[in-house]
Structure 1
Amino acid sequence: MAVLAVIVGGYVLIRWVHWDADAVAAVATAAAAVAAFASADSSANAARDSVRALSYATKPRIDLHVRQNQDSLTVQVVNDSTNPIGSCTLSWTLRDGSTGSRVLGSLAGYSFTTTGLSIGAQGPSYPTVEITPNPGRKAGTDEYRVAFAGVQGSLRWRSTFQITHERDATSDIGGTQRQAQLIEEREM
């Protein structure tokens, strides 16, 4: 009811002041268009922020499995999520000073399968890197960096993790204090 009163009051005012009703309608339409544009822009920003937050929350998680063999180190890079990784590179600096890197390409994540009434998880493939020669039982720190990138929704991102293994020369299993830390994370 109040809206109707405003409309009628506005019409009476326009007639009383002798304004051109078409000009007033054009100005009102322009003002409504500006308000609609501002609302749409705000809505687009909110949607973009929501997609960004969801993308960060669902980004893949990387894990490294390192096994010391007689002549080499076997390193497996594992994507511990259901989301794929677009590109991945492993680089290392071992306790004997040797360095290297390998491009691993894309890594699939876990997928869920259904057959009849059963539901199961199908694990991702694990790219395996053999590092030769094995630095042996020498004590020290092996450092691995995993740089990986991908796309989640409309967000392109890149992350780098550093994983260190402290080796104890007295241990038959190669020692092991393991530490992982995020080095870099950014949108591209």
Structure 2
Amino acid sequence: MIRAADCGGGVVFEPQIKSSIRFCDWMAQVMGHVARAWYCGWTPRIGTELSREYISPGLVQNLRQLDESASALAKTLIEARQVATALSRKSSFLKSDKLMNIDDRFELRALGQKLLDIDTFIDRFGIDSKALLPFIRMFKVLMHNLRGQMLTDLGKESAESYNQLAQGVGILRDWIKHTLDLAKPVAVKGACVISISRGKELV
């Protein structure tokens, strides 16, 4: 089957025998969507190639559990972004990262320690939920590749990294919501029924 242009184009191969989509295959579609959002700047609609008949009760159960962890991770990343932004903003008013008054030093140290505590907490999500492990690995890569030399630059780059990860987790949650909505029971439309008595009148 040829994929529509507004869905990315290309060819899609559909199996002749339909079977329920596995959780790992579902996650592969999600991470592909996240990768395009991060590096291509273009994304298809959520769940374009996902059909209701492929969704199993087991997948629904896994997604409900994952949604709780993803929601907590999203909130943690937003908090980390706010702290990193505060660190960058505070340090931007300093003439030097080394020479400052005691109050400024204590405040910057407190912000830095809070950020370290949040980073440690973020790492735990990869241990508690294997599905979130790709985001945790990307988090470590982004933190490792920070290039800033000054506190202002490091805080700004960190905030951008947290924001990127939050965007990715947001896409994951959109996929979860779309899939769970797709799996909800659908009311069967009433058939047009003609009563027997009326049928006799029509004869």
Query: Which structure carries more strand by proportion?
Result: 1
Length-normalised TM-score, structure 2? 0.25
Query: Which structure carries more helix by proportion?
Result: 2
Larger radius of gyration: 1
